[in-house]
Amino acid sequence: MQIEFVSPDAASASRSLLAIVVPEGEAGGVNGGAFAGAVAQSRFTGARGQVLEVASVLGRTLLVGGGKASEFDDLAAEQTAAAAYAAAKLSGAEVLRLSPAVDTGAFAARAALGLRLGAYRFDKYRTRETADKKPSIVRAEIVTDHAAAAAEAMPSLSALANAVVFARDLVSEPANILYPAEFARRVKALEALGLTVEILGEEEMRQLGMGSLLGVGQGSVRESQLAIIRWNGAADPAAQPVAFVGKGVCFDTGGISIKPADGMEDMKWDMGGAAAVAGVMHVLAGRKARVNAVGILGLVENMPDGNAQRPGDVVTSMSGQTIEVINTDAEGRLVLADAIWYCQDRFKPRFMVDLATLTGAVIISLGNDYGGLFSNSDDLSEKLLSASKAEEEPLWRLPLPKAYEKQIDSAIADMKNTGGRPAGSITAALFIQRFVNGLPWAHLDIASTAWKKPSSVPTIPEGATGFGVRLLNRLVADHYEESA
């Protein structure tokens, strides 16, 4: 979809559908009262998210509820634009002409972001879709008196949209296509944006002593990979970087502790953490953020096999700590243990945030609207929570009680990889914390938010969400970038 900013008096194209975002309580007065009758016959009040289609001499028009004018903000501009797109996409119209509730350049630009994200669709494997099932909108016109200001705000928002789409595509790909080496290739291609990407294979990881990560991939014919992505945007290329680490389990069968068949296909998106980290690096490079950043992806496939890791095996991690593998399905923490250690050992970052679709238990605790946040730092937690609010990627902080540590004590090794049913997300986080070596760290358990089915947020169509890209981009922009 092509998106442009047009002035209110620009002629509308034929086959265009007008969408007017209306502040709450003002619908009757829109266009000199042209829709007052239709509005009076409906329940449309202009509350955020409502849509009413009306026919008039102007042609078909969508009224989209914008909520209270005084509360109309960047997120409202995005969400209402995406809601208009959702209502228009199968209408047969080719052009969506959108008029935001409050006309500023910033809101017009945010509307464009909302359209990009709301129009996301993963359709590369559909070969027989008929035209009437496909979205008909090929172009959007955003009506504004501030086109120049809107255009000026676009480059960084386009970089963000590109990065979220990149992450969503990775998450949507099936595991026969996106295995560790293919994921690494797609990340390597990001060097075109100015990133530096190194890929380590199993032999190199063996030499580094990554027995914990390698044990997970041992049953797969696909080689495990570690991707190291760097962005040097600070004035001093040697300035301490910020760091992100992602769980990239390209498919999680559970291994020998195999999962039930029902729903196992979901485990193609067990690399959502790694996709989010790749997405963050993508946006930092795309908007040339003035910061040094590192992204580490632990890429493996967890399969049952004659050579697979067994329950009861003991592995030695790069940190030197030994782990008794009680359940081969608790593999994400085994991958992160080595990826995190490698990250801090080599880069000495200012802080580390890891993202992982780590536990089913976080879905039980928080449902599908919140990711779990765990951290050893109140300061980093506060910053993450405020970034999460600003970008509407909700997080909820959960505790790391010392008393629960005993749940992961092992009789024969330094720790075991499962802590039983109680507080499953917390004991997983406590496990990861044992590999954090005295720096601010946060762990985001995004098993709850990486995939939405159904979705209630118009900028996030059903499926891969790209959760984490926006909030970490905001974290960096608000707190860790040098001023221009």
Provide the binding-site residues for Zn ion, judged by CB under 5 A.
249, 252, 270, 332
What crossing angle do the helices spanning 378-390 and 469-479 adopt, rounded to 10°? 120
Tell me which DSSP letter residue 221 carries. S
- Count of H helices and E strands in the chain? 14, 19
Query: Is 329 a residue that touches Mn ion (CB under 5 A)?
Result: yes
Active site residue 230: no
Beta-carbon count within 10 A of 46 CB: 24
Binding track over 284-323 against Mn ion, x by CB under 5 A: ----------------------------------------
Q: Does 271 bind ligand BES (CB under 6 A)?
A: no
What is d(CA 392, CA 59) in angstroms, rounded to the nearest whole number?
A: 35
User: At CA 271, angle to CA 306 and CA 280, rounded to 5?
Assistant: 150
Whole-angstrom CA distances from 235 to 240, 310, 467, 474 are: 11, 49, 29, 20
Identify whether 399 is preceded by a cis peptide bond (ω within 30 of 0). Answer: no
- Select 23 or 273, whichever has its Cβ closest to ligand BES: 273
Distance CA 292, CA 191 (A): 15
Nearer to Zn ion, 256 or 380 (CB): 256
Nearer CB in complex with Zn ion: 20/450: 450
What gap in Å lies between CA 354 and CA 335, rounded to an integer? Answer: 11
Query: 376 and 432 in contact (C-beta within 8 Å)?
Result: no
Among 61, 357, 375, 465, binds ligand BES (CB under 6 A): 357
Contacts to ligand BES from residues 116-155, by CB under 6 A? none
Is 259 assigned a catalytic role? Answer: yes
Q: Which of 259, 288, 389, 397 is labelled catalytic?
A: 259
Backbone angles phi, psi at 390, to 5 degrees: -65, -30
Q: Which does 360 bind (CB under 5 to 8 A by kind): Mn ion, ligand BES, Zn ion, none?
A: ligand BES
Three-state DSSP class for residue 251:
strand
313 touches ligand BES (CB under 6 A): no
- Minimum Å gap between C-beta 311 and ligand BES is 10
* Footprint of ligand BES on 151-210 (CB under 6 A): none
Which partner from the list Zn ion, ligand BES, Mn ion, none does 418 bind, CB cut-off 5 to 8 Å by kind? ligand BES
For residue 247, the minimal CB distance to ligand BES (Å) is 8
Pairing of strands 441-445, 451-452: unpaired
Residue 361 sits in the site that holds ligand BES (CB under 6 A): yes
Taking CB under 6 A as the rule, does residue 330 contact ligand BES?
Answer: yes
Catalytic residue (choose from 48, 168, 247, 333): 333
CB of 339 to ligand BES, least distance (A): 15
Strand partners, 322: 316
Contact pattern from residue 243 through residue 282 relative to Mn ion, giving x for each residue in contact according to CB under 5 A and a dash for the rest: ---------x------------------------------
**Residue 359 is a binding residue for ligand BES (CB under 6 A):** yes
* Residues in contact with 26: Cβ distance below 8 Å, sequence separation at least 6, in sequence order: 46, 69
Residues at the site binding Mn ion, with contacts judged by CB under 5 A: 252, 329, 331
> What are the catalytic residues?
259, 333
